[in-house]
Structure 1
């Protein structure tokens, strides 16, 4: 079928001064869906070309009109004050929300099968769209909202199959602790888990953190290009999986897990994350900042050892939950059910 895909972000590396975690996995999912025989047309602006100067027109197709499609796939957008809620043409305006509403009005309201991927848990549980016959909602959570399906952020099968834990744990790492990601709704876990541990070790926080006065001892670096993420993880012994509470309560894991593990960086995991053992072995779970500091001290002593390799191997094994072939199968199943329902 021809799928109209709406996303506000990039397929390539994009630009530094923008949040878009989808860069780590969006193209993996899209290519997997195409390998299943579907065709895809992108329905938002081509930001790869317009902002990053990266031309992908030989491989993908964009259409900012309203082409005839068989199904609509939305990476869900939500109101962000001062950005996509302002009038078109005003300084700082992005038109992702207006365009999404246009797509909903034209396609979804007309009965076109619509798959809505709520990647940031911004769709209210009582939103009436959840109950439309031609709409299916997916969330990257082990325990999604009732009625929604689990669609995790995908990792390419070939990447998982070729990952070598022994090779990834060889070599020196000069940075005991790193965190890569933005501040959004993470103050509480940062306070409880990261900041106390960071006070004891050299560390770096890369990302957009605008309210940092309460942590004068923390080394905030600011945003880094997407191309620098892997290199930072390869310098670091460990990172910490900091999730907003609304993620942690439902086992909604971000791409930071597999970005770190695939670079050989061990992910310390707050034990408050629901089903934490699904994501990492218990040896990496931490109860608080003091516990995290003790774990880091130990990890610094085992670099390159069999224990180090065993921990990373256990992390890699758990990434099978994110295997792209599994996630593409979810998309295929959801779309097939919607299409079947539309012809009943």
Structure 2
């Protein structure tokens, strides 16, 4: 791309491993995107708090730039934040308050007044359809879905090209896998999917559930381990035969796949996939599609019988091939195309 810009990037999370008690799924892909943008000649300055330094005690300031003010930028890039009662809707300085939402609004107010265009990435599908920002002339909305909302651009969570090109299904299937079934992720809006697709299979197979599940009393017979460190996610997937892709309905209906897919597949853990997910075959081969938890249990029995064998490697190869749509270079092309469109809007 000929156009190289200064991006003011707003995100509430981490570039490194962060801390255990956080729901930041962006750690799996955010740094890859940022580094890719920088390698293509764009300058990136972060406009939210430096949580890597302040909370995780990881100083990345020799590598990246943070600015608590309002520096000159060409485009404001937002990982969209939304109101969370009791957290970012409270008064600044009160216990438990996070200032991500306030800061986001300040950034929008200042840069909109300056005529700076906005690339808004609605990574959690929390931007209401009727929100006026969708109709603003200098705003482009992106979503990590195969079928984004009308007027939005499909920008999937990126996976580094090197990670995809270096993944060997034969090597991955030869790893020792002592855990038949795993789920890594938090409860948020997943109760129905968990109860239908995961719980029945977990009752028939040795399993582990890692993540924040504060309301799990109805599944008291299952093995909940609580949150684990981000660095432990890959290790847990590497000892597991299979997981289940659990999506809230607002994700499943538009083919919005989370980072759990490529985290699992790149570790050789096979993702059993509810067939109700829109275009499920775009994410995994049909032999991994399930109709419910009993179906998941039966499919897992079949997989356990071929662990480490050619059939195992072949189905993993099919999963790896489908990750190509998440390839970082593809997502960077999408970002740059969107940035070009925003630049033209600003000129106009």
* Fold match by TM threshold 0.5: yes
| TM-score, length basis structure 2 | 0.98
- Structure 1 runs, 4 residues or longer, greater than 6 Å off: none
C-alpha distance in structure 1 between counterparts of 2:251 and 2:284, whole Å: 16
C-alpha distance in structure 2 between counterparts of 1:296 and 1:195, whole Å: 13
Residue 126 of structure 1 and its aligned partner are, at CA, apart by 1.3
2:305 corresponds to 1:309: no
Q: In the alignment, is the contact (CA less than 8 A) between 2:139 and 2:342 conserved in 1?
A: yes
Where in structure 2 are the equivalents of 1:126-141 lying within 5 Å?
A: 126-141=130-145
Aligned equivalent of 1:120: 124
Where in structure 2 are the equivalents of 1:314-329 lying within 5 Å?
A: 314-329=318-333
1:331 to 328, 335, 341: 335
Q: In the alignment, is the contact (CA less than 8 A) between 2:175 and 2:238 conserved in 1?
A: no
C-alpha distance in structure 2 between counterparts of 1:252 and 1:333, whole Å: 21
Aligned equivalent of 2:80: 76
Residue 280 of structure 1 and its aligned partner are, at CA, apart by 0.3
Aligned equivalent of 2:29: 25
2:96 to 84, 92, 95: 92
2:276 corresponds to 1:269: no
The unaligned stretches of length 5 or more in structure 1 are none
Aligned equivalent of 1:188: 192
C-alpha distance in structure 1 between counterparts of 2:238 and 2:207, whole Å: 13
2:263 corresponds to 1:259: yes
SS for the counterpart of 2:219 is coil
2:152 corresponds to 1:156: no
Where in structure 2 are the equivalents of 1:222-261 lying within 5 Å?
A: 222-261=226-265
User: For this pair of structures, how many residues does the alignment match?
Assistant: 344
Aligned equivalent of 1:296: 300
The unaligned stretches of length 5 or more in structure 2 are none
Residue 111 of structure 1 and its aligned partner are, at CA, apart by 2.1
1:49 to 33, 53, 62: 53
SS for the counterpart of 1:310 is helix
C-alpha distance in structure 1 between counterparts of 2:336 and 2:147, whole Å: 20
Residue 138 of structure 1 and its aligned partner are, at CA, apart by 0.1
CA RMSD of aligned residues (A): 0.6
Shifted more, 122-131 versus 39-48: the winner is: 122-131
Residue 109 of structure 1 and its aligned partner are, at CA, apart by 4.2
SS for the counterpart of 1:232 is helix
Residue 217 of structure 1 and its aligned partner are, at CA, apart by 1.5
| TM-score, length basis structure 1 | 0.99
Q: In the alignment, is the contact (CA less than 8 A) between 2:175 and 2:239 conserved in 1?
A: no
C-alpha distance in structure 1 between counterparts of 2:137 and 2:319, whole Å: 39
Aligned equivalent of 1:5: 9
Residue 76 of structure 1 and its aligned partner are, at CA, apart by 0.1
C-alpha distance in structure 2 between counterparts of 1:339 and 1:7, whole Å: 22
C-alpha distance in structure 2 between counterparts of 1:45 and 1:271, whole Å: 40
C-alpha distance in structure 2 between counterparts of 1:124 and 1:101, whole Å: 16
